[in-house]
Amino acid sequence: MIQLAEIRRRQGDEEGRECLLLEAYRGLRGGQWPCNLATYRFFLAEIEAAVEFPPEIQALRGRPSGFEGDLAFAEILQREVVPPLRERLGLGLPGEKASPARFLTGSGPSGFLIAFRPLENISPARTYYGGYGWELGALAKQGLAGLAISAEDASGRILRIIDDGGRDVRSGDLSDIPQGALALSLRRYPLPWRFVFASSGLGDLSRTAARENLLYALLLGVIGVLMALGAFLLARDISREAEATRLKTEFVQTISHELKTPLTLIRLYGETLQRQPALGDKERLGAYEIITKESERLSHLINNVLDFSRIEMGRKEFAFRPGDLAETVRATLESYRYHLEKKGFAIKDEIASDLPESTFDSEAVASVLVNLLSNAMKFSPGTKEVGVRLRRDGGEAVLKVEDKGVGFPPGEAERIFQKFYRVSSKAGAGATGSGLGLTIVKHIVEAHRGRIEVRSEPGKGSLFAVYLPLRGPGEEAR
C-alpha cells in the first residue's frame, strides 16, 4: 500500500496517496497484517512521517494500540519465557508427564516469576501449556502490600523481606538486620527473597560493634580489591567494545558502498531502457546483460551477509547431495567470467574431468569460488591475472585460486579468516570489501570436513588451496 501511495504521488494524485496511507495506518494499528514489534513500529513511523493526519486520525494516534500491546507482550514471552521454558521441558525424562512448575527469568525488578502447567484435552498430537507471569517489581510493591514487612513493634521484633543484596524488597533501602536474625528462603515459590525475623534487643552490643568494625574493615579491603579488579576489567571491556564498534561501523559503511555500485548500474541501465525505446537490439541486449550480471553480484553480496548472520546464530545449514564437483566449479567460473574480463583479467583455468561423483553442497562450493575470485580481483591492481585449477589428490579434490596481486605478509595468514578483518596492505588500500568472504569460505570448507591453505608473499600474489574430501559428511567409505 505504501508503494501504491508512492505511485499515486508520482501521478500527482495527492488525495489518493493520503487515503491509501491513512488506510494502511488504520489497518496496521488494527492488526490487519501479522508482523513483529520492530516491523510494526518501522512501518508506523514511515507512514507518520509521510502524511499529515486529519483531526479524527490525530485522536487515533493518541490512543494506545491493543495490537501493539499484544506484540510487546508476545516479544516478552519470546525473549524472557519461551527459552527457559523449553530448557526446563527438555530436561524431563522421555515419556514423563509434565507437572506444574515455577521458575524465575530475567534479573532484578524487571524479572518475572513464571508458573505453568500442561493443559489437557486440547489436542492429542501436541501438548499445550498455560500459565501466569508476575513481574517481580510489581509483586514486591503490590502483592506484598498487605504484609508488615518493614515494621518494628515495641518489643524490638522485626519482620522483613529482603533480597540477595540485603535490601528491603518493598522500600528498596538497605536493611539493617541485627545479628542472630533468622532467615527463611521462599523455596516453594522460587522468589529471590528471604523472610528475616530478628530481635534487636538481644546480644552483647559491644561485641556486636567490634565484630561489625572488623567486618567493615575487611569489607573495605575487599571492596578496594574488587574496585581495582573492576577498573581493570572495565578498561579491557571498553577497549574490546570500542574495537568491535569500530569494526561494525566500518562494516556497515563498506557494505553500503558495495551495494550502491550494482544498484546504481541497474538503475542507470533500467532508466536507459525505459527512456530510450528506440535502442537497437545490440544495445538492449548489452543493457540486459549488465542488469543481470549486476543483479547476480548484488545477490552475492546479500547472500554473504545472510550466510554470515546464519553462521553467527548457528543456523547455517547445508544440503549435501551427490554431484559433479568439476561441473559446479566450471559453471561458477563461467558465471563470474564477465566480471573478471570486464576488469581486464586474464583467466587461466585447468579443471580436471576425471573427478568421481562426490557429495557436497553445490551452492556453498560455488560461494567459496566466488569469494576467492572476488578477493583476487580486488587485490590485483597491477598484474591482472587469475588462475583456477581443480584436480584430484588421492581421496581429496583440490581447488586452487591464484592471483598475481599485492599479497600479504605471512603473519596475516591466520587473521584473514577472522570476521570483519581486511588485509592492511598499502598496495591494496583502495580495495573494498565486507571482511566476511574468507570467514564464510572457512566455515563452508570445515562443514565439508575439508581444509584451506594459503600461501602469499607481498607484491607477488596469493594462492588459496581448498581441500575437499571426495566423500561428503556422513557418507560411508566404499
Local structure of 104: helix, strand or coil: strand
pLDDT of residue 478: 39
Q: What are phi and psi of 109, to 5 degrees?
A: -60, -20
**pLDDT for the residue 386:** 92
Dist. CA 335–CA 347, nearest whole Å: 13
pLDDT confidence bin for 343, thresholds 50/70/90: confident
Predicted local distance difference test score (pLDDT) of residue 258: 67
For residue 7, name the pLDDT band (cuts at 50, 70, 90).
very high
d(CA 377, CA 468): 24
Which range has the worst mean pLDDT, 33-37, 247-251, 384-388, 433-437?
A: 433-437
Q: What is the DSSP string of 280-318?
A: -HHHHHHHHHHHHHHHHHHHHHHHHHHHHHHHHHT----
Q: Which residue has the higher pLDDT, 321 or 55?
A: 321
Q: Which of 313, 338, 359 is the last residue of a domain?
A: 313
Between the ranges 97-101, 173-177, 308-312, 403-407, where is the mean pLDDT highest? Answer: 403-407
| Same domain assignment for residues 301 and 377 | no
Q: Cell for 85?
A: 521454558
Domain residues for 86?
70-139
The total of other beta-carbon atoms located within 10 Å of residue 43's CB is 17
Q: Are residues 305 and 176 in the same domain?
A: no
Q: If you search the block for the grid coordinates 528498596, which residue do you land on?
A: 172
User: For 437-461, how does the pLDDT look when each residue is reduced to its tens digit (9 = 90+)?
Assistant: 788 888 888 888 999 999 888 888 8
Is 218's pLDDT higher than 50? yes
Any idea which of 203-212, 252-261, 292-301 has the lowest mean pLDDT? 203-212
- Dihedral over alpha carbons 280, 281, 282, 287 (to 10 degrees): 90
pLDDT at 288: 83
> What ranges make up the beta strands (E) of 30-156?
101-105, 112-119, 128-135, 150-152
Same domain for 237 and 218, yes or no, is: yes
CATH number of the domain bearing residue 375: 3.30.565.10
* Domain final residue, candidates 63, 80, 109: 63
Determine, yes or no, domain membership for 476. Answer: no
Mean pLDDT across 399-423: 79
Q: Over 90: is that where the pLDDT of 400 sits?
A: yes
Q: Please give the helix or strand (H or E) that residue 439 lies within, else none.
A: helix 437-447
Single-letter residue type at 2: I
**370 has a pLDDT exceeding 80:** yes
Q: For residue 377, which of 360, 358, 393, 401 has the smallest C-alpha distance?
A: 401
According to DSSP, residue 419 is labeled T
Least confident range from 75-84, 128-137, 154-163, 168-177: namely 154-163
The answer to whether residue 342 is domain-embedded is yes
pLDDT at 476: 45
Number of Cβ within a 10 Å radius of residue 137? 15
CATH code: domain of residue 297: 1.10.287.130
* Residue 286 belongs to a domain: yes
Do residues 447 and 359 share a domain? yes
Rounded Cα distance, 81 and 68, in Å: 19
Do 454 and 330 lie in one domain? The reply is yes
Please state the pTM of the whole predicted model.
0.42
Mean pLDDT of 417-427: 61
Same domain, 216 and 270: yes
pLDDT of residue 162: 77
| DSSP category for residue 97 | P
Q: What local confidence, expressed as pLDDT, does residue 468 receive?
A: 93
Residue 428 scores a pLDDT above 60:
no
- Is there a single domain that holds both residue 332 and residue 444? yes
Q: Residue 88: its pLDDT value, please?
A: 73
For residues 325-342, average pLDDT: 88
pLDDT at 325 (0 to 100) = 92
The whole-angstrom separation of Cα 362 and Cα 326 is 10
Answer yes or no: is pLDDT of 464 > 90.
Answer: yes
Q: Quick one: 197 and 210 in the same domain?
A: no
Same domain, 354 and 435: yes
Q: Are 127 and 92 in contact (CB under 8 A)?
A: no
Mean pLDDT score, 66-85:
83
Looking at per-residue confidence, does 17 or 158 come out higher?
17
Q: Where is pLDDT greater, at 228 or 312?
A: 228
Q: Using 50, 70 and 90 to split pLDDT, how confident is the model at 329?
A: very high
From first CA to last CA, the distance across the chain in angstroms is 58
* 423, 408 Cβ separation under 8 angstroms: yes
Q: Is residue 409 part of a domain?
A: yes
Residue 283 lies in a domain: yes
Are 78 and 59 contained in the same domain?
no
Question: Is pLDDT at 350 greater than 70 in this prediction?
Answer: yes
Q: Pick from 116, 139, 162: which residue ends a domain?
A: 139
Q: Does 478 reside within a domain?
A: no
Q: Do 128 and 233 belong to one domain? A: no
Least confident window among 89-103, 292-306, 389-403: 89-103
User: What tens digit of pLDDT does each residue of 86-108 get?
Assistant: 777 777 666 666 677 787 777 66
Question: What's the farthest any 2 CA atoms get from each other in the chain?
Answer: 105
> Could you tell me if residue 191 is inside a domain?
yes
What confidence tier does 65 reach under pLDDT thresholds 50, 70, 90?
Answer: confident
Strands 112-119 and 101-105: antiparallel
Query: Does residue 321 register a pLDDT over 70?
Result: yes
* Total number of domains in the chain: 5
Range 47-58 average pLDDT: 80
Question: 119 pLDDT exceeds 70?
Answer: yes
Confirm whether 477 is domain-assigned: no
CB 388 within 8 A of CB 347: yes
CA-wise closest residue to 189 among 233, 144, 152, 222? 144
> Strands across the sheet with 150-152, in order?
150-152, 157-163, 193-199, 182-185
**Mean pLDDT, rounded, of the chain:** 79
Question: Given this model, what pLDDT does residue 467 score?
Answer: 94
pLDDT of the residue at 103: 79
Residues 294 and 159 in one domain: no
